[in-house]
Amino acid sequence: MIVQRVVLNSRPGKNGVPVAENFQLEQSTIADAVQAGQVRVKTLYLSVDPYMRCRMNEETGSDYLQPWQLSEVADGGGIGVVEESQHHNLAKGDFVTSFTWPWQTVAILDGNSLQKLVPQLVNGRLSYFLGAAGITGLTALLGIREKGHVAVGANQTMVVSGAAGACGSLAGQIGRLEGCTRVVGIAGTDEKCSILVQEMGFDAAINYKKGDVAKQLRELCPGGVDVYFDNVGGDISDTVISQMNQNSHIILCGQISQYNKDVPYPPPLPPDIEKIRNERNITRERFLVLNYMDKQEASVLQLCQWIQEGKLKVRETVVEGLANIGAAFQSMMSGGNIGKQIVSVSK
């Protein structure tokens, strides 16, 4: 069977900025026969995420991420429908997902590597299982629960950087649902800031490209910052940390401002900021959602319940066509999107 697939065509280099041309669409073939334990799936949706930037390098700098190989098909979070099954627990028509889904139109996969999905849990919006009800939502929810130390009635203020992104836009809302009394987002455009406040329930949002961020933070967080959901690192994070309270907590989710730089993860803080962190006993521990998969099922059900109740607002940027996945990745890495970046492969 002839299929289309996307391979890694070139590497941007450790300090390079990824572009669409780093990926290439090509034709390939897969076996006509499905072997015992396997299923043939048609790809419906693929996810592009910031962590994939590390996979474009020869070495990812991480012990849990493998680099993509040149001229080989890329992979990541994906959703598809079973077209033929030789697996005892999967049948034709089932919707399934995997964290290692190949970027191709049709694939033959090991049935044991797939998780069956229940569309009704997300009101039929299957793509949500790659975002708000998937690994992105889990990262936001479990990050807050495991590293944020949020408590109802504690009058805590949370700040979220990269707040209009896939994880940040959920984290601010979840922080509120978990008990924070004030949530402030940091984003890169007035449009994003407006959406955060008017649609997603943030108390306020700062456009970091306008005005004095430190001054705005002091005005919007007069009692200081108790919880910081850090998606970006760099100067913005240094500014937030300098205004954090004694015994406060940083949820170290991502450092997208540093992903195109050859630095260790998590990047070390500048000496003056590290001094503040130590003096104020601010926790800054690496968070990896894959370490908490024993809590996945219950957490996904919680996220789905909030979605069904309208308590968790979801934004997606959907790009049509496998041929455009490289451009979608470039756009996501440049911060041009609001919410989760999804590629729709098949209707």
- Structure confidence at residue 326 (pLDDT): 95
**Model pLDDT for residues 312-344, shown as the tens digit of each residue:** 999 999 999 999 999 999 988 887 778 899 999
Q: How many CB atoms lie within 10 A of CB 33?
A: 11
For residue 262, pLDDT beyond 90: no
Q: What is the per-residue DSSP string for 247-276? A: EEEEEE---GGGTTS---SSPPPPHHHHHH
| Cα(112)–Cα(186) distance, integer angstroms | 40
pTM of the model: 0.91
Region 245-267 average pLDDT: 70
For residue 114, pLDDT beyond 50: yes
Of 318, 330, 334, 333, nearest to 46 (Cα)? 318
Over the chain, what is the mean pLDDT?
Answer: 93
Structural domains in the chain, CATH included, are 2-131+315-344 (3.90.180.10), 135-290 (3.40.50.720)
267 by Cβ neighbours in 10 Å (0-12 / 13-18 / 19+) ranks as middle
Cβ(315)–Cβ(333) under 8 Å? no
Region 221-234 average pLDDT: 95
| Cα(184)–Cα(206) distance, integer angstroms | 8
| Cα(201)–Cα(203) distance, integer angstroms | 6
Question: For residue 329, how far is the Cα from the chain centroid?
Answer: 13
Omega cis (within 30) before 18? no
**Model pLDDT for residues 188-215, shown as the tens digit of each residue:** 999 999 999 999 999 999 999 998 999 9
Half-sphere exposure for 312 (CA within 13 Å, toward CB): 30
For residue 347, pLDDT beyond 70: no
- Structure confidence at residue 337 (pLDDT): 79
- What does the block give as tokens for 116? 């069956």
